[in-house]
Amino acid sequence: MENKKEKRGQFSSKLGFVLAASGSAVGLGNLWRFPFTAGANGGGAFVLVYFVILFIIGFTLMLGELSMGRATMLSPIGAYRKLKSKYAWIGVLGVAAGFLILSFYSVIGGWVIRYLVKAVSGDFNVTDGAVLGELFTDFIQNPLEPLVYHGIFMALTVLIVIGGVAKGIERYSKIMMPSLFVMLILLMIRSLTLPGAMEGVKFLLIPDFSKINAEVILAAMGQVFFSLSLGMGTMITYGSYLDKEQNLISSAMEIPLIDTIVALVAGLVILPAVFSFGFNPEGGPGLLFITLPAVFSQMPLGSIFAVIFFVLVLFAALTSSISILEVVVSYAVDERGWSRKFSTVTLAAVIFVMGIPSSLGQGLWSHVRFFGRDILDNVDFLASNVFLPLGGLLMCLFIGWVWGVDKAIDEVTNHGKLSFPLKGFWTVMIKYVAPVGILFVFAQATGLLELILGAK
């Protein structure tokens, strides 16, 4: 009960909010997941579908989540409950997705820390792709070492979340996010000027339509949700920390725009280098870790750049992981009345344990495979391709048909003070186009669509 009286944290400025929300969106999803997922799903075909889905759900769902958060000033479960109590379970689904996502996110965050340590100790003077590949597999197959780094990453996340919203999150974002961007541009220039780099650019940007299939479409949808931090209520939570004067409409455009630019630039760092060094674009989750050291080895002052870069990647990963933990923690604080510190430490410990199988699945337990995927890929698939889109679908239906679009519009226009020229567009998108689109992708991926249409 006591905690309810604690003053709810708030962002101190519009810039602070957009940076923090972009900090949540921009992370391993852009730098690590986007390049390898594009690589594994046909390159340009994937990117094209990604853009179509981004257009349909990016702004629509971002604004939806922000409006629910600020209207209620509560975390997801509380927000649904306050607006219509029997729908609180939709929020529960989001919190569950948060547990799953952070569990493997932190494992990858740990890999980043390991590579930062390697960069600091100057281990990157290798140009031979095969050797870089081996270094990577040796590391992730080791049972213990990655778990130690997974623990370190989780501990860092905990430390920031305990610091609270404005102090903990906002302060750091202002310097680190722009620095990351500058660094990525430098790397992109280096990558694009490597011999044979244009093959990678073509691979990423020119769609081969014959590669578009149900699997690619589902992967692209999952990537949009993952990258924009949508579908589990992260943006509901962030919206709840926002004061009533801020402009949600422009934020809901800026955040997806920033996120998309970063993902594309990251793609233009990794894939040209992949082709130039003769790596396999379908190399999977190791792509970033194998390719980047090769790029640094081809740069003047590469070993210094490597250190700076991995610091920034780590930072970007942390600004995302804190937003995931924040959802889970604010649920415990708002709904259970636990203290912030206790919730943070306890829940992080649970999530750390949940991440252990994903880490061990790289080596010791690599024989444990379902649907042709290792443990980490399965957890990722379930969370990103199933839970997040499902959460997004339910939110659209909730806003469109239960809470009411007019109430959401009243909130995002600050009760009529702001003009919202896209009002009609947004209404149609959230009531019809986005939910039907998500259902369509699900139906196609499960083979249901073909069944319905009578094809075989």
Query: Which residue in 75, 103, 234, 344 binds ligand TRP (CB under 6 A)?
Result: 234
Query: Which residue in 19, 28, 116, 314 binds ligand TRP (CB under 6 A)?
Result: 28
The residue (of 315 and 398) whose beta carbon lies closer to ligand TRP is: 315
- Triad 181, 186, 189: Cα angle to 5°: 125
Q: Give the binding range for ligand TRP (CB under 6 A) out of 19-27, 39-47, 336-344, 414-422.
A: 19-27
Alpha helices in 298-422 (DSSP H): 302-331, 340-360, 375-380, 388-397, 405-412
110 binds ligand TRP, rule: CB under 6 A: no
Q: What is the largest CA-CA distance in the chain?
A: 63
Task: Report the sign of the C-alpha dihedral through residues 241, 157, 36, 369, in that order.
Answer: negative
Residue 370 gets which letter from DSSP?
A: B
Query: Which residue in 9, 16, 29, 110 binds ligand TRP (CB under 6 A)?
Result: 29
> What's the token pair of residue 211?
């590669």
Q: Which residues 6+ apart lie within 8 Å of 168 measured at CB?
A: 160, 161, 162, 322
Query: Which residue in 18, 22, 23, 30 binds ligand TRP (CB under 6 A)?
Result: 30
C-alpha closest to that of 35 among 232, 290, 374, 310: 290
* Site string (318-337) toward ligand TRP, x via CB under 6 A: --x--xx-------------
* Site string (358-397) toward ligand TRP, x via CB under 6 A: ------------------------------x---------
Task: Please tell me whether residue 83 adopts helix, strand or coil conformation.
Answer: helix
Nearest-approach distance from CB 376 to ligand TRP, in angstroms: 15
Nearest-approach distance from CB 108 to ligand TRP, in angstroms: 9
Task: Please tell me whether residue 373 adopts helix, strand or coil conformation.
Answer: strand
267 binds ligand TRP, rule: CB under 6 A: no
Nearest-approach distance from CB 292 to ligand TRP, in angstroms: 17
From residue 362, give the alpha-carbon distance in Å to each of 43, 317, 368, 431.
25, 20, 10, 42
> What's the token pair of residue 112?
């980043």
Q: Give the binding range for ligand TRP (CB under 6 A) out of 12-20, 25-33, 193-201, 272-280.
A: 25-33
Nearest-approach distance from CB 319 to ligand TRP, in angstroms: 9
Q: Are 281 and 275 in contact (CB under 8 A)?
A: yes
Would you mind telling me the total number of residues written for the chain in this entry?
456
Query: Which residue in 16, 19, 24, 106 binds ligand TRP (CB under 6 A)?
Result: 24
Q: Are 19 and 173 in contact (CB under 8 A)?
A: yes
Q: Are 32 and 210 in contact (CB under 8 A)?
A: no
Neighbours of 127 (CB within 10 A): 13
The residue (of 164 and 447) whose beta carbon lies closer to ligand TRP is: 164
Q: Give the binding range for ligand TRP (CB under 6 A) out of 115-123, 212-220, 226-234, 339-347.
A: 226-234
Query: Which residue in 41, 67, 72, 227 binds ligand TRP (CB under 6 A)?
Result: 227
Nearest-approach distance from CB 395 to ligand TRP, in angstroms: 13
Calpha distance 95→100 (Å, rounded)? 9
239 binds ligand TRP, rule: CB under 6 A: no
Q: Which residues bind ligand TRP (CB under 6 A)?
A: 24-25, 27-30, 101, 226-227, 229, 232, 234, 320, 323-324, 388
